Chain A
Amino acid sequence: GAGVSQTPSNKVTEKGKYVELRCDPISGHTALYWYRQSLGQGPEFLIYFQGTGAADDSGLPNDRFFAVRPEGSVSTLKIQRTERGDSAVYLCASSLDSFWTDTQYFGPGTRLTVL
């Protein structure tokens, strides 16, 4: 079946601009996660949705970052006034639910470059 998809695969923008990154989870998965991976590092948690609501947004670095999942399926990560330090690969993952045993499946990521 189809896995997690993310668009765009690459995004180049200028400092100060606004960007939106989209994630399509695996059909039927209620839990959705956003992570950010910088070069040479492991992914770092940003936010977790259970259904439509953000159950944990403790990883969002500041108020320039915001994410929504209005219908409990597709999610959009929004970054305002981008900074060069926001350059990273943004990974989305989904799982059937959020139990201990549920595997998180990752999408291919969006590589964001802020010039």
Chain B
Amino acid sequence: RKEVEQDPGPFNVPEGATVAFNCTYSNSASQSFFWYRQDCRKEPKLLMSVYSSGNEDGRFTAQLNRASQYISLLIRDSKLSDSATYLCVVKINTDKLIFGTGTRLQVFP
């Protein structure tokens, strides 16, 4: 079983739609949680950290459920520029990041 599991998609949604991505992690010792965004043939970039209380950054909302070991990302009012792969990431120790396989989002006009 992978340490971080995500639905690979692709999710094809029209502009303006709301889309949600889910992720589960297997190690209950995981301490930090993130969503990274990766454009085609580019490096991953931090989208947002995920906190237990939930957090929002503009159109993006992240939630963490430690009891269920579940992380989510909600994107409201999708834009064409949101098309990318979204990587769910956990950190157990203070060093390495553990990535899911990523969920591909394609927003169409």
Contacts and interface: CB of A to CB of B under 8 A. Distances in A.
Contact of A42 (B31, B87, B91, B95): B87
Interface of A: 31, 33, 35, 40-45, 48, 55-56, 59, 91, 93, 98-101, 103-109
Interface of B: 4, 8, 31-32, 42-46, 87, 89, 91, 93-102
A40 B101 contact: yes
Given A43-B44, A109-B43, A104 B101 contact: no
A89 to B, nearest CB: 8
Contacts of A99: 94
Nearest to A109: B43
Contacts of A91: 43-44
Contact of A41 (B46, B96, B98, B101): B101
Among A48, A104, A105, the most chain B Cβ lie within 10 Å of the Cβ of A104
A106 B43 contact: yes
